[in-house]
Amino acid sequence: MDLIKNIKDIIIGERSNSDLIKEACQELILDDKTMREIMKRFLHEIQLGLKKETHPAADIKCFITYVQDLPNGKEKGRFLALDLGGTNFRVLLIHLKGDSEFEMQSKIYAIPQSIMIGSGTQLFDHIAECLANFIKEHKLQNERLPLGFTFSFPLKQLGLTKGILIRWTKGFNCEGVVDRDVVELLEEALKRRGDVSIEICAILNDTTGTLMSCAWKNHNCKIGAIVGTGSNACYVERVENAELYDGPANGKEYVLINTEWGAFGDNGALDFIRTQYDREMDEFSINKGKQTVEKMISGMYMGELVRLALVRFTKEGLLFGGQGSDLLFKRYQFFTKYVSEIESDKPGTFFNCYDVLEEIGIFHATDEDCANVRYICECISSRAAHLSSAGIATLINKMNDPSVTVGVDGSVYRFHPKFHDLMMVKIRELVHDHIQFDIMLSEDGSGRGAALVAAVASRDAHE
Q: Is 2 a catalytic residue?
A: no
Q: Catalytic one among 156, 170, 222, 290? A: 170
In angstroms, rounded to a whole number, what is the distance separating the alpha carbons of residues 22 and 373? 11
- How many other C-beta atoms can be found within 10 angstroms of the C-beta atom of residue 441? 14
Taking phi over 0 as left and psi of -120 to 50 as alpha, with beta for the rest, 435 belongs to beta
Sign of torsion over alpha carbons 203, 204, 205, 210: negative
Residue 84 contacts residue 150 (beta carbons within 8 Å) = yes
Q: Output the furthest CA–CA distance in the chain (Å, rounded).
A: 88
d(CA 151, CA 163): 9
Count other C-beta atoms under 10 Å from residue 41's C-beta. 19
Query: Pick from 345, 412, 419: which is nearest to 382 by CA?
Result: 419
d(CA 29, CA 34): 9
Residue 432, amino acid: H
Q: What share of the chain is helix, strand, coil (3-state, %, to 5)?
A: 45, 20, 35
In the residue annotation, 206 being an active-site residue is answered as yes
Determine contact, residues 91/131, Cβ cutoff 8 Å: yes
Helix (H) or strand (E) holding 377: helix 367-399
The catalytic position among 125, 181, 206, 409 is: 206
In angstroms, how far is CA 372 from the centroid of its own chain?
A: 27
Coil vs helix vs strand at 227: strand
H or E segment to which residue 110 belongs: strand 101-110
| Catalytic machinery residues | 170, 206
